[in-house]
Structures are given as structure tokens and as C-alpha cells.
Amino acid sequence: MQNAIRFALLCGLVLASVSTAEAAGRGARGGVVMGPDGPLYDTRSAEWKMSGGDINAYQAIMQQKMMMQQQKYMMQQMQQMQKAAQLQKNGKGKTNTTGAAGFSNPFAAPVNHYRRKKYNHGAVDPKAKPKTATAKPTP
């Protein structure tokens, strides 16, 4: 008698757990199918529903979707290239010239950007007096 009660209780728990799993959207009727390398496909997606449960049709739909996305990206890239070429043609875009500052010549002498600046102020008047008292008079 006790075994029958235990068996009935066990069956009731199993049925309750299965029904709650299906109510939560988990279980055998939907979800992401996992493979050894990660998710393979989602049975809740619109593409899976369009395929009618056929894995080959699903793969064909996903391949077509991927090709459409790639084509869209290539079209955007081509439009950007055409726009840049038009701007460069009009003289408003960036140019990739290497002739500036001698960068095109690998044997050019190095440029020292840190040398002292020389001021070219012209000839100095020998009769001029210093403006400050600390300045040394010129002989």
C-alpha cells in the first residue's frame, strides 16, 4: 500500500514538473538547440517557422539572410567610397599624398623638429640705448 502511494506521488510530481516546464517555454516544444560549439538554431525564430521544421530549409533561409546582409554592407561601403571619391574630385576631401615633408623618400635626411628657433630681426642700430637698466650696452 505504501509503495502504491509513493508511486502515485512520484507520478504526480513528474507530471507537475513537465507541465511547468512547458508553460515556461522550455521543454521539447521550443527553444535554442545547443551543439558542442554553441547554439545551432532557435526553434522559436521566424526562420524556423518558415522552414516548417526542416533543417535543410532552415539552413537555406539563414544562408540567404546572411547573403542579403553581406550585400547590404557591401552596398553601403560602395556608396561611402563613391562619396569620398566625389569629395576628393571636388577638392574638399582628404588626400592621401605622401609627398608632404619628404615622407616618400626613404633616404632623405632626418628632420630635427626641436632645434632652437632663429629670429631674423634685421640689422641692429649701434646708437640705440637699452630699454632696461639690466641690459648690457653694446661696445
C-alpha separations of 55 from 37, 43, 75 in Å? 18, 10, 30
pLDDT for the residue numbered 110: 72
Confirm whether 128 is domain-assigned. Answer: no
Confirm whether 1 is domain-assigned. Answer: no
Confirm whether 50 is domain-assigned. Answer: yes
This prediction has a pTM of 0.42
For the chain, the domain total comes to 1
Per-residue pLDDT of 62-101, as tens digits, reads: 999 999 999 999 999 999 999 988 888 887 655 555 455 5
